[in-house]
Chains A and B, each alone.
Chain A
C-alpha cells in the first residue's frame, strides 16, 4: 500500500557511501502489460520519455546498453541480474542496481516500484557529479502508468 503522497513521488536517501532513489506508483493494469513494457528494450523510446535507447535483450543474463536523458552522451552497459515475470526485474553494473517490482495492491491495481542504489567506497569522491534521479524517476513511473493503463483500457 502506498499513500497518495508517495504515489509517483521520488524519494532519495543520501548516505556517505551510497545514494538510493525510489519511486512507487499505482497502476491500473494487468501486471503482464507492465512486465511487457519493462522488458521490450527496443520499444522503450516510444513510451518512455526518460530513455533515449536500449539495445540488447532484457532477459535473465542479458546485456543491455542504455542511453538515458539524464546523461545523453553516456552509454550504460548493464546486465540483467534478475527477471521474474510479472514481479521483479533487476539490472545493474558494478556501481549499483536498479530494481523494478510489481506487486498487487487491490482489485485491478498494482504498485510499480523502482529503486536504484549507487555506491562504493569511492562514492564520496564522485557523488557531486551524479545528477539527481528524482525527476527522471517520477517521469519514468508516470510514463509507465500512462502507457500501461492505455493498453489495459484499449478496446476488446
Chain B
C-alpha cells in the first residue's frame, strides 16, 4: 500500500472516525484535533502497518489511543447528566436564543426525536468507565468484532466481553430507570419536551409512533429495546444529519455544564 492509498482509505473512514471520537469526547474541537492527529500519526507509522488487521481497525486503534490520552475524555460524567444540564438550560436564555436561531436559519437545524435519542446516549455513555464506553461504541455502533476491539484496545477478548456485558447492562439499567420513551415511570422526557419547543406544530405522539423503540416498548424486553436504541445510533451521523448543528450546539452546552459540575465536585 502506498501513502496515497492510505490517504484514500483514511478519507473513507473519516466520517466514522469523526463520529466515534465525538461520541467519546463530546467536543467538536477535540474531535477535529484527534482525527487530524490520527492521520498524521498514521502517515508517520505507515511503515509499521503489517496488514495484521484491516486498515480501518488500525486507524481506529490510533484514534482510540489518542482519545484515551485526552484529559476531557478521562473525566467521566454522571448518570443524571441530562437532569443537571436541563436545570442549567432553564436559567440560560442565551443558550435558548442560539438554539432557536440555529433551528430557524441553519440547514442542519432540524429537531428530530431520533437525533436527540442519539445525543442522549452520547451524554449518558460518558458516565461509564472509559473502556466500557469505548467497547460499546466499537461493537454496537461501528460493528467491530470482539477480536478487532481486543486489537484496538490491546486487551484480551475476555476483557472486551466483560466490558461489553457490564457496560451494556449498566446502560440498560440507566435507560430503564430514566427514559420515559421505554418506561412510563421514567423521569426523563427531554426528547419529547424539546420536540414540543422546536416543532410546536408537530403531534409528538405521532412522531413517537415512527420510532420502533418507543412503539414496541411496552411489550419488548429490555435487551431488545437497547438493540433498537443502538440501531437508531447506527443510522445517525452527528456531523452530517439534518439536525447536526442543533445537536452539536446542545452537546457543547452539556459538555461545558459537566466540566463546571465536575470541577465544583473536585473530580
What is the interface of chain A, defined by CB distance below 8 A to chain B?
A: 30, 32-33, 36-37, 40, 43, 46, 150-152, 154, 156
- Let me know if A46 and B147 touch, CB within 8 A: no
- Let me know if B146 and A32 touch, CB within 8 A: no
A45–B173 Cα gap in the complex (Å)? 13
- Let me know if A36 and B162 touch, CB within 8 A: yes
Looking at the complex, which one of A40, A46, A151 makes contact with B161 (CB distance below 8 Å)? A151
**With contacts A156-B145, A156-B146, A156-B147 known, is A33 near B158, CB below 8 A?**
yes
**With contacts A46-B169, A46-B170 known, is A151 near B145, CB below 8 A?**
no
Q: Does B165 contact A (CB under 8 A)?
A: yes
Known: A30-B161, A40-B166. 16 other contacts (CB 8 A): A30-B156, A32-B162, A33-B158, A33-B161, A36-B158, A36-B159, A43-B166, A46-B166, A151-B161, A151-B162, A152-B161, A154-B165, A156-B145, A156-B146, A156-B147, A156-B157
Q: Does B164 contact A (CB under 8 A)?
A: yes
Specify the chain A residue showing the minimal Cβ separation from B155. Answer: A32
Q: How many residues of B contact A (CB 8 A)?
A: 15
When distances are taken between beta carbons in the complex, the residues of chain B under 8 Å from A32 are 156, 158-159, 162
A46–B145 Cα gap in the complex (Å)? 25
CB distance from B136 to the nearest CB of A (A): 13
A34–B192 Cα gap in the complex (Å)? 42
B201-220: CB near A (< 8 Å → 1, else 0) gives 00000000000000000000
Looking at the complex, which one of B146, B162, B169, B170 makes contact with A33 (CB distance below 8 Å)? B162
When distances are taken between beta carbons in the complex, the residues of chain A under 8 Å from B165 are 150-151, 154
A152–B158 Cα gap in the complex (Å)? 7
Specify the chain A residue showing the minimal Cβ separation from B164. Answer: A154
A-B contact count (CB 8 A): 33
A32–B163 Cα gap in the complex (Å)? 12
CB distance from A139 to the nearest CB of B (A): 19
Specify the chain A residue showing the minimal Cβ separation from B146. Answer: A156
A43–B128 Cα gap in the complex (Å)? 11
When distances are taken between beta carbons in the complex, the residues of chain A under 8 Å from B169 are 46
When distances are taken between beta carbons in the complex, the residues of chain B under 8 Å from A37 are 162
Interface residues of B in 128-170 (CB under 8 A from A): 145-147, 156-159, 161-162, 164-166, 169-170
When distances are taken between beta carbons in the complex, the residues of chain B under 8 Å from A151 are 161-162, 165
Specify the chain B residue showing the minimal Cβ separation from A150. Answer: B165
A68–B173 Cα gap in the complex (Å)? 22
Specify the chain A residue showing the minimal Cβ separation from B166. Answer: A43
8 smallest beta-carbon distances between A and B, as pairs:
A30-B158, A32-B158, A36-B162, A156-B146, A151-B165, A33-B158, A151-B161, A33-B162
When distances are taken between beta carbons in the complex, the residues of chain A under 8 Å from B157 are 156
> Which residue of B145, B162, B164, B173 has the most chain A CB atoms within 10 A of its CB atom?
B162
A49–B227 Cα gap in the complex (Å)? 26
A76–B229 Cα gap in the complex (Å)? 40
When distances are taken between beta carbons in the complex, the residues of chain A under 8 Å from B164 are 154
CB distance from B149 to the nearest CB of A (A): 10
When distances are taken between beta carbons in the complex, the residues of chain B under 8 Å from A36 are 158-159, 162
CB distance from B76 to the nearest CB of A (A): 12
Specify the chain B residue showing the minimal Cβ separation from A148. Answer: B162
Specify the chain A residue showing the minimal Cβ separation from B165. Answer: A151
In the complex, 18 of the A-B residue pairs with CB atoms within 8 angstroms, ordered by the A residue number, are A30-B156, A32-B156, A32-B159, A32-B162, A33-B158, A36-B158, A36-B159, A37-B162, A40-B166, A46-B169, A46-B173, A150-B165, A151-B165, A152-B161, A154-B164, A154-B165, A156-B146, A156-B157
CB distance from A50 to the nearest CB of B (A): 18
A9–B147 Cα gap in the complex (Å)? 36
A43–B132 Cα gap in the complex (Å)? 12
Specify the chain B residue showing the minimal Cβ separation from A30. Answer: B158
When distances are taken between beta carbons in the complex, the residues of chain B under 8 Å from A152 are 158, 161
